[in-house]
Structure 1
Amino acid sequence: MYNLIRVEFFKLHKNRSFWTLLIALAVLSLAYPLLYYFDHRSSGEPQFTGAEFLITFITSNAYVMKFGVAVLSGFFISNEYSTGIMKTIASSGNTRGRLYAAKLTVFAIGAMLISLVFPIVSTLEVTLLSGFGHLPEGSTLLFIPRVLGLTLLYTAAYASVGALFTVVLTDSGKTIGFSMIFFLLIDFVLAGLGSKVEFIGTLYDYSIFKLVGEIAESRIHSGDLPALLLVPLLTIALTAILGILVFRRKDIK
């Protein structure tokens, strides 16, 4: 298993799409705060501090997570089907369960790295421009590691869903297109159906799609924390098992 993960890390390191995503997001993360900085400066409005920017815009990072997972899943995993690499790997003697687990592990780590670019780069830049400021009233120094830790956890959950799509669809274009449409519309679909069907509403309330919007809350009640942690963990476990089952029965050409 260790050697399989090393091989996948080597592929990720050599994957141009991964580095292109990282660089593009880093550039956008530098440019985005500057727009607000110069706009506030010209209008005389108070500047965002690093803490205020992180709190205000961390929810927008959910779109980065979804976009990163969708694109990386197509170019990192699904692309191996079209190039024939997946067929070679599947016949290497390793069980398909171990192969899938190794790919999912490295894919999730790559997506997690992408998800940290915006909050870290933009917050550091705003801090250099306007200072860090103060955290919300009632927050502790654990606020930042909590937000970043939950960002990593939910990105891994989204990655596990994206990896499942790659096994089902195999084609990189279909995977990217379907994943982006699914991640962008699933909230509207579940929220709309949930307003009419109570079970679906409850299901949506305890899904990663709804809870990802709560990771930046300044205060999280002790009763809400178990759900915030258990839902993404259960999502990872369930989709990983489904992915392995599908991958084992998949006819790889």
Structure 2
Amino acid sequence: MSRLIKAEIYTLFKTRAFKILCIIALLCSLMLIGITKLVSSEQFLKNNLKGMTEEQQEQFIEELKNASSNNSSPVNSSSSMGFTINASDLFNPTARELFKGTFGNRVIEIFLAILIGVMVAAEYSSGTIKNKLAYGKRREQYYLAKIIASTVGMIILLAIMVSIATIGSTILFGWGKAFDLHELAYILGTFCSAIIVGMAIISLMTLIATLVKSNGATIGIGIVVFALLPSIVAFLYGKYDWFDKIFETTPAYNWSVITSLVSSNSDIIKSVVISLVTLVVASILGIMVFKKQDIK
């Protein structure tokens, strides 16, 4: 099993798509630093609002400040896509406030859809799966090795996005309070929680890849189901109790809870537990499907 995992991780590092995703993750983090620096400059905004009167400019800036400070629900961010700048004072942000925004919304889902499509689904058409299983490897071991290797890829992508953006923000704006062991635990706790939610996403996407056996279909379904659809239907949250119960079990909602500044510890624990259950159930279902397939 350990050799199989090492082989899959080696394949991950050799995959061109993964290298490109790492570069994109780096560019995203650098762009986030630059955009945050520009948006947090009141003078920059005023220079771009020259068509307005001074009174209108002040009103617009005040509305931005209020919008930034009134984000009181994780669902507010679950409906968005990309990166958000969460700060109590938009023009005086701290790296601690910006930290959770560096994880992005629907960004890692798109990355994972591409990664799973290349790492798992593409091997059906290439015949690689049959060759690997011919060496006597058990199917459940192969399946779990794929999930583990994909998780390693996700951790690296997250580490690039989060670390670069957080370090850059700390240099520009400061952390916001004394950095001690409690703050380190806050960073590690958030990152580990995000990994668990991400593993739930990986297990579901791997199940999809096993069912459709096509890298293009896996990427398309993954992006639509895990990135686009949650952003579209999030507006229904709070309107129907039955919808709320369903939506709160989705990776999109749980990712938003983990990366929200206003989430309580109980909310985060609940999201982690739901994600662990999703990981186990989806992995078991995926293994069952994979063991019954006729691999050609």
The TM-score normalised by the length of structure 1 is 0.86
CA distance in structure 2 between the partners assigned to 1:199 and 1:252 by the alignment: 40
Match of 1:163, as an amino acid?
A: T
1:7 corresponds to 2:7: yes
Matches for 1:62-101 after TM superposition, within 5 Å: 62-101=105-144
Residue 292 of structure 2: which of 241, 249, 253 is its match? 249
Matches for 1:1-253 after TM superposition, within 5 Å: 1-41=1-41, 43=43, 46-55=91-100, 57-58=101-102, 61-134=104-177, 140-141=182-183, 142-187=185-230, 188-189=232-233, 192=236, 195-196=239-240, 198-218=241-261, 220-253=263-296
CA distance in structure 1 between the partners assigned to 2:265 and 2:118 by the alignment: 40
CA distance in structure 1 between the partners assigned to 2:249 and 2:40 by the alignment: 38
Alpha-carbon shift at residue 246 of structure 1 (Å): 0.9
Assess if the C-alpha contact under 8 Å between 1:61 and 1:115 holds in 2: no
Describe the shift of the 1:30–1:190 C-alpha distance in structure 2 as closer, same or farther (beyond 3 A).
Answer: closer
Match of 1:52, as an amino acid?
A: E
Describe the shift of the 1:27–1:209 C-alpha distance in structure 2 as closer, same or farther (beyond 3 A).
Answer: closer
CA distance in structure 1 between the partners assigned to 2:294 and 2:210 by the alignment: 10
CA RMSD of aligned residues (A): 2.5
Assess if the C-alpha contact under 8 Å between 1:190 and 1:201 holds in 2: no
Match of 1:16, as an amino acid?
A: R
Assess if the C-alpha contact under 8 Å between 1:68 and 1:115 holds in 2: no
CA distance in structure 2 between the partners assigned to 1:39 and 1:62 by the alignment: 19
Assess if the C-alpha contact under 8 Å between 1:111 and 1:155 holds in 2: yes
Unaligned stretches of 5+ residues in structure 1: none
Alpha-carbon shift at residue 127 of structure 1 (Å): 1.4
Q: Counterpart of 2:106 in 1: which secondary structure? A: helix
Larger radius of gyration: 2
CA distance in structure 2 between the partners assigned to 1:165 and 1:171 by the alignment: 9
Quote the sequence identity (%): 24
Alpha-carbon shift at residue 195 of structure 1 (Å): 4.6
Q: Counterpart of 2:156 in 1: which secondary structure? A: helix
Describe the shift of the 1:251–1:121 C-alpha distance in structure 2 as closer, same or farther (beyond 3 A).
Answer: same
Match of 1:15, as an amino acid?
A: T
CA distance in structure 2 between the partners assigned to 1:220 and 1:28 by the alignment: 25
Alpha-carbon shift at residue 248 of structure 1 (Å): 0.8
